[in-house]
Chains A and B, each alone.
Chain A
Amino acid sequence: MISQIFSLAFLAQTIRITVPYSLASLGGVYSERGGVVNIALEGIILNGAFCATVGTYYTGSPWFGLLCGIAGGLLVAAIHAVISIHVKADQIISGIALNLFAVGITKFVLELLFQSSSNSPRIAGLPYIKLGFIQNQPDVAHLLGNPLVLLTVLIVVASHFIIFKTRFGLRLRSVGENPEAADTVGINVTWYRYYGVLISGVLAGLAGAWLAFDQHSFTDGMSAGRGYIALAAMIVGKWNPLGAAAACLLFGFAESLQIQLQGGTLPTQFIQMIPYLATIIVLAGFIGKSVAPGADGIPYEKEK
């Protein structure tokens, strides 16, 4: 039975679930490391998925669709950035409003373009790289050969270096921890905060594009709480790229286990709860305290 559960297909399932979580979660890491709380991840994913679908549908090119997905994510992130950094309004409420906005606007345009408030027509998926070694399971081969899978792995690893080993990362972290200190050494706090939020738009937009290509269509509300799970993973991963990705992998694993066990004796709802319970436990400091960046969620007021 064990071997049945932990098959190649199971691995593929886990990856399929983990990829969008990781992308969005990394987005959260960039945004919050720079000091802007990003609850809007959910809406960014949704809009990314929608724009990727529309772009692919009208051009027939999934690559162009991918760019549209990124642009769609960027758009929502940019609004969040302006409200949070420029207007200095409440970042949490802004995020919630944008999530609501994304639900509304995607359905609105969906209905305008496709006369349906729930589904888009079918779109092509991303072309995959042919992998020689698992030809007997085409689904798995397609998934592992998906360029976005490879890209995600690259982004995870690269993010670790970007955040902890580069000039950009150092400065980003400084504006999220202590913007006043960053300001006194001549770092432009506003710009760096914008970079953080916009990168989260790109990454969560990619996560949305993944969902659209994976399903070959857009359905309303298809982000289905993934933005919040990404947020949870970010916290469990202690705002570190590798930690966040590991948490996403754990959550993805649990979720695909739940799919495997469907109809079994163990209620699937309890597996669903794992990410959320883990977050509460980690936040409360029961297993290693997870501490947010010092200035996370606090607008920077330069004038004294």
Chain B
Amino acid sequence: MADPVKSKRHWLEHPATQNFLIPIFAVILSFAVGAIFILIVGQNPFQVYSVLFSETLGTSYGVGQLLFKTTPLIFAGLSVAICFKGGLFNIGAEGQLQIGAFMTALVGMYTVGVPAFLEIPLLVLAGMVGGGIWGFIPGYLKAKTGAHEVINTIMLNFIAAALVSFFVTNLFNVPATVHTPDIAPTGRIPRFDTIFSSFSGSPVNFSILIAVLAAVAVWYYVDKTRYGYELRVVGLNSKAAEYGGISVSKNIILSMTIGGAIAGLVGTNYVMGYKYYFEEGFSTGTGFMGIAVALLGNNNPFGVILAALLFGMLEYGGLVINTMVPKELVSILQAIVIIFVISSNKIFRKIVVNFLKKRTLRVND
């Protein structure tokens, strides 16, 4: 049946179109602003951007590096996204992934001799438990005392950093280093280059499959299960949740815990797939970048994968353009993308409205 309301609306005004177009609009705008910085340096923006794309996407080594950087960003982005769905802002992915990755290494170093089919799930689980605990704390505090999760997760990031620093400088380290001993060899996740020789030299490994699986799981959980339904109702309208017999506090704790557990999976990439030990300072703000990834991916698990690929490309891309412009250009780009995404809703809608107005005027003439 024809829907009179729908047919009147221009396709640009449709929320689904806008959800899709706004991030793209923000990315394009950011690259345009980035071009100004490139011009300041005295380089040709087109040249710099073409090197950025060809060196990351054009070679299998580049793709390998890009994917290696993408994996942790997917975990962190999913962590932030699922909390967003529950109406919570998880700035604590950084701390959660520190604790999670450390737990993975800790369990790994004490379980030598366990066969791979048990060891790998065990270490994955250890990471999830570690991150989950670190997510549970702010969730519990929010549900029971109303303390804002934003401040608490920021504080817990620092506490996590201090805690793992204490462990890897005093208790569980290889003497004179700030890393743990190696995990059991059976806990290693193979690198791509053990199978595809073209990825040789790049640390990309099969933990990226875990990341993709995690994205599918988050999608299924949020969209297909009753838990996910309740989570979304709480996130979108907690008063309606209360009216519909859904426990708001239970769902707050649950989404923070799940978010933490997903962030805790970052260790699969670094600890199980790359270095085989936990090292202080292994993550340089991955958790914070997860916020950008989730925003750009519109909190949709598959959007998160795409956004993580873009941010992974930028992270590695900084290195390939470093001879022409300072590699920090990419941090600037990343920051501007975030600012444009949060500001775009308004700006983009205004542009659409003006565009449509002009068009209508022309048609009427």
Report A's interface with B, CB cutoff 8 A.
Answer: 39, 79, 83, 87-90, 92-94, 96-98, 100-101, 103-105, 107-108, 111-112, 117, 225, 228, 231-232, 235, 267, 269-270, 272-273, 275-277, 279-280, 283-285, 292
The answer to whether A283 touches B41, judged by C-beta atoms less than 8 angstroms apart, is no
Residue of A nearest to B333 (CB): A104
A225, B89: Cα distance in complex, Å: 20
B12 at the binding interface (Cβ < 8 Å): no
B331 interfacial contact with A, CB 8 Å: yes
Quote the shortest CB–CB distance from B298 to chain A (angstroms): 14
A97 in contact with B89 (CB, 8 Å):
no
B346 at the interface (CB under 8 A from A): yes
Contact A87 B346 (CB under 8 A): yes
Residues of A within 8 A of B335 (CB): 97-98, 100-101, 104
B154 is an interface residue with CB less than 8 A from chain A: yes
Task: Determine, out of B124-132, B231-239, B301-309, B337-345, the stretch whose residues face the partner at the interface.
Answer: B337-345
Residue on B with the closest CB to A292?
Answer: B148
CA distance A93 to B148 in the complex (A): 15
Contacts of B345 in A (CB 8 A): 89
Residues of A within 8 A of B288 (CB): 96, 100
A281 to B81, CA, bound (A): 27
CB atoms of A107 and B170 under 8 A apart: no
**Across the interface, which residues of B come within 8 angstroms of A87, CB to CB?**
342-343, 346-347
Sorted from nearest, which 7 A-B pairs have the closest CB atoms? A104-B331, A101-B335, A97-B338, A269-B166, A111-B326, A276-B155, A104-B332
- B152's closest neighbor in chain A, by CB? A280
Q: Is B150 an interface residue (CB 8 A)?
A: yes
Question: In chain A, what residue has the closest Cβ to B332?
Answer: A104
Contacts A/B (CB < 8 Å), 19 sampled: A79-B339, A87-B343, A93-B338, A93-B342, A98-B339, A100-B292, A101-B332, A101-B339, A104-B332, A107-B328, A108-B37, A108-B329, A112-B40, A270-B166, A272-B162, A276-B158, A279-B151, A280-B141, A280-B156
Q: Does the CB pair B328–A283 fall under 8 Å?
A: no
Min distance, Cβ A304 to any Cβ of chain B, angstroms: 19
CB-CB under 8 A from B327, the residues of chain A are 117
Chain B residues whose C-beta falls within 8 Å of the C-beta of A279 in the assembled complex: 151, 155
Residues on A with C-beta less than 8 A from B249 are: none
- Asked if B328 contacts A111 (CB within 8 A), the reply is yes
Interface assignment of B351: CB less than 8 Å from any CB of chain A: no
Find out whether the CB atom of B326 lies under 8 angstroms from the CB atom of A117.
yes
Which single residue of chain B is at the shortest CB-CB distance from A104? Answer: B331
A269 adjacent to B343 (CB under 8 Å): no
* Inter-chain contact B141/A283, CB cutoff 8 Å: yes
* Cα of A94 to Cα of B339 in the assembled complex, Å: 6
Residues on the B chain within 8 Å of A89, using CB: 339, 342-343, 345-346
Closest to A276 in B: B155
Chain A contacts for B346, CB-based, 8 A: 87-89
Digitize B172-206: 1 where CB-to-A-CB distance is under 8 Å, 0 elsewhere: 00000000000000000000000000000000000
Least distance between A120 CB and chain B CB atoms (Å)? 14
Q: Given the known A-B contacts A108-B37, A269-B162, A277-B159, are A100 and B141 also in contact in the complex, defined by CB atoms under 8 Å?
A: no
- A283 pairs with B342, CB closer than 8 A: no
Interface string of B126-169 (1 = CB under 8 A from A): 00000000000000010001011011101110110011011001
Nearest Cβ in chain A — how far from B319, in angstroms?
12
In the bound complex, how far is the Cα of B291 from the Cα of A283, in angstroms? 23
Given A100-B334, A107-B331, A283-B152, residue A270 in contact with residue B162 (CB < 8 A): yes
Contact B339 A97 (CB under 8 A): yes
Identify the closest chain A residue to B165 (Cβ): A269
B336 within 8 A of A: yes
Contacting B156 at CB < 8 Å: which of A272, A276, A284?
Answer: A276
Residues of chain A with a CB closer than 8 A to B156's CB? 276, 280
- For the complex, what is the distance from the CA of A232 to the CA of B151, rounded to whole Å? 8
B295 at interface by CB-CB < 8 Å: yes
Q: Are B331 and A100 in contact (CB under 8 A)?
A: yes
Query: 8 other contacts beyond A280-B155, A292-B148, with CB at 8 A cut-off?
Result: A90-B342, A93-B291, A97-B339, A98-B339, A104-B330, A104-B335, A117-B326, A277-B155
